[in-house]
Structure 1
Amino acid sequence: MKNRPLAQGFTVVIRHAALVATLGLAVGCLPAAQAATKTTAKASADKTLDAVGGPLPANAVARVNNVLITQDQLDQAVRALNVADTPALRTSVKNQLIARELFRQAAEKQHYDSRPQVTAAVEQAKTAAMTAAYLRDEVKPAPVTDADVKAKYDAIVATLGESEYKPSAIAVKDADTAQTVLTQLKKGTDFAQLAKQYSQAPGAAQGGALNWISFKTPIQAGNTQNWPQPLAEALVKLPQGGVSSTPVQIGDAYWILRVDEKRPTQIPQYDTIKDALRKQLEQVALEKATAQVVVDLMKNAKIQQQ
């Protein structure tokens, strides 16, 4: 069973990336700078200066031996970090680019470019870039319209019942362990503690806590928000604070449920959720279009498998 948020995706998570500005950690911390440095290396033969200590060209921010680091490379590296652009940040990024170029030159001088692991990595990078370019040209997902988004919203709302539940769950592999858990619960042992100790269900590390869920009752097959039907039926019969009196067997697992909270179903307004739903539908369309490209390629391919 998958631990999904209420209405299959109403929650959007935004991640924040922090800047690492230490020169010793320069390698690998600027993805855009890596590509920029390769360009610099390729053009270095054309940028050799008779007087290394002479004035910098107008488009350069630094010279490392005979190789220029350009303003455009610095701008690309700063944009890649996606943080506030400040003079201090630019100084730090420039120092990282200088360090990266020093590393590159030292490695090239010692012929690291011909080492097997390096040539293999170059080939892998080439393959990845080539494949990505091909997919951008060949995968044509169907556009997602406003009507598609509204229909998705209406379909989700139609699956929701009058009440929604905040459950916790413990799932174990055998009936004996399930009975041990139930016995401990009856003695007053904390549900979250037992979940962390015994459970193999989603949310075990969080004491068995699952996301809010709602079902239209009576429970109907195929309308259980991806929960197994017996679990959904067991959950809606429990009062708030109630715990399963007997385990519910699903396949080889035995489930014990608790209703932590119960409340009238809270349905987000369409305008507050439409962007998240659109992204969800666009992802589905992308996956469908990609699968179709695979199918088309397989029609003319000879594939052998063990």
Structure 2
Amino acid sequence: MFYASTYRQLQPLFVACSLAAAMVAPIAHAQTATAPASVAAPASNLGPGVIAKVNNVAITEAQLLRAVQQSGLPDSLNLRAALKSQLVSRELFRQEAEKKHIYDNRPEVKQAMQEAKDAAITQLYLRDAIKPAPVTEQQVQAQFDSIVASLGDKEYKSRLIQVGDAATAADVLAKLKAGADFGQLAQQVSLAQNKVRGGELDWISFKTPAQEGHTQNLPLPIAQALAGLPVGGLTPTPVNWNNTYFILKLEQVRPTQVPKYDDVKAVLRQQQEATALEKATIAVVSNLVKQAKIEQ
């Protein structure tokens, strides 16, 4: 397991920044999207870049690529065939509705057109205004080296149950000591997001004794408790941190598995590019906020 994730808490002002970054990414992706080499496009006599015509109205390869990107599904010939059928059907519907001339002036149509225009010009502005700093190979290598240096000689596989008060924590721990299944109990009572996985945590490694800021984003009391457990052991008492209570079970320990740089550099680059995009977005939003009169 490789520990490269970091969790930042932005101030409320920067909620807009995340939204802006989310908006600018799809348009940039759509402009550069190309068909994967493994997906062969069938030959067409309809004209360059045209995949179908509906009453002489062209449906283009670019439209299909955007539909593939927006679907979020792996590109394939079957997906493209299904989306192409949807585009053809949509064009048929549009033409039939347009013939009736009764929809043009309806308020909901005008509102939808205005919203689509607003979204398009906003995305174009964000693409032009937000210029993330490029990420270099040296930066990616430095991040990899820093992460490797922060790892301990062992890594831990564990489960965790999070509850909101001491009484519930004591009850959960008593049930576990009496033989209750940790995974099932986690699914039933845990407040943590990993409850759906029975409280399972990813492999994690850190130097011991655990020190603040050097626990791979694991809260220090939890890291300290985890490092002190025998394999198969439960925390003898609930761990109190940030007004919540945690019960841990250590399932496995093994020597730390450090991946090869070439196997993880793409992921590290993506993380750094996302951070650069966030920083550039914050700068743009902050500048606009300073110049604007905002009343709430």
Where does residue 26 of structure 1 map in the other structure?
Answer: none
Match of residue 7, structure 1, among 3, 8, 11 = 3
Question: Deviations along 1:241-262, whole A, 9 cap, x unmatched?
Answer: 1111100011221100011111
Where does residue 174 of structure 2 map in the other structure?
Answer: 183
Give the Cα separation in 1 of the matches to 2:188 and 2:234.
Answer: 18
Q: Output the amino acid matched with 1:142.
A: A
8 Å CA contact 1:77–1:93 kept in 2: the answer is: no
| TM-score, with structure 1 as normaliser | 0.74
8 Å CA contact 1:202–1:210 kept in 2: the answer is: no
8 Å CA contact 1:249–1:255 kept in 2: the answer is: yes
**1:190 to partner: Cα distance:** 0.5
Where does residue 44 of structure 1 map in the other structure?
Answer: none
Q: Where in structure 1 are there 5+ consecutive unaligned residues?
A: 11-55
Give the Cα separation in 1 of the matches to 2:46 and 2:196.
Answer: 57
Question: Deviations along 1:142-176, whole A, 9 cap, x unmatched?
Answer: 11111100111011112111111111100111111
8 Å CA contact 1:9–1:277 kept in 2: the answer is: no
**1:221 to partner: Cα distance:** 1.1
- Structure 1 segment 70-219 matched on structure 2, within 5 A: 70=58, 73-80=59-66, 81=68, 83-85=75-77, 95-108=85-98, 109=100, 111-219=102-210
1:89/1:258 CA distance change after superposition, 3 Å = closer
Give the Cα separation in 1 of the matches to 2:151 and 2:51.
Answer: 59
**Residue aligned with 2:193, SS:** coil
Q: Output the amino acid matched with 1:107.
A: A
The answer to whether 1:288 aligns with 2:279 is yes
8 Å CA contact 1:69–1:97 kept in 2: the answer is: no
Where does residue 56 of structure 2 map in the other structure?
Answer: 68
Q: Output the amino acid matched with 1:153.
A: F
Q: Where in structure 2 are there 5+ consecutive unaligned residues?
A: 7-44, 69-73
8 Å CA contact 2:132–2:276 kept in 1: the answer is: yes
Where does residue 29 of structure 1 map in the other structure?
Answer: none
**1:226 to partner: Cα distance:** 1.4
Q: Output the amino acid matched with 2:94.
A: R
Q: Could you list the structure 1 runs, at least 4 aligned residues long, displaced by more than 3 angstroms after superposition.
A: 56-64, 77-86, 92-98
**1:272 to partner: Cα distance:** 0.9
Give the Cα separation in 1 of the matches to 2:167 and 2:209.
Answer: 31
**Residue aligned with 1:203, SS:** helix
**Residue aligned with 1:123, SS:** helix
8 Å CA contact 2:156–2:203 kept in 1: the answer is: yes
Give the Cα separation in 1 of the matches to 2:143 and 2:46.
Answer: 56
| TM-score, with structure 2 as normaliser | 0.77
Identity %: 48
Give the Cα separation in 1 of the matches to 2:46 and 2:65.
Answer: 23
Q: Output the amino acid matched with 1:69.
A: V
Q: For this pair of structures, how many residues does the alignment match? A: 252
- Structure 1 segment 22-37 matched on structure 2, within 5 A: none
Where does residue 216 of structure 2 map in the other structure?
Answer: 225
1:210/1:75 CA distance change after superposition, 3 Å = same
8 Å CA contact 1:140–1:289 kept in 2: the answer is: yes
8 Å CA contact 2:158–2:203 kept in 1: the answer is: yes
8 Å CA contact 2:2–2:258 kept in 1: the answer is: no
Give the Cα separation in 2 of the matches to 1:249 and 1:62.
Answer: 62
Question: Deviations along 1:265-292, whole A, 9 cap, x unmatched?
Answer: 1011111111110111011001001100
**Residue aligned with 1:171, SS:** strand
Give the Cα separation in 1 of the matches to 2:126 and 2:221.
Answer: 42
Question: Deviations along 1:20-76, whole A, 9 cap, x unmatched?
Answer: xxxxxxxxxxxxxxxxxxxxxxxxxxxxxxxxxxxx986787665xx4133xx2433
Give the Cα separation in 2 of the matches to 1:282 and 1:167.
Answer: 31
8 Å CA contact 2:157–2:202 kept in 1: the answer is: yes
Comparing 93-102 and 202-211, the one that deviates more: 93-102
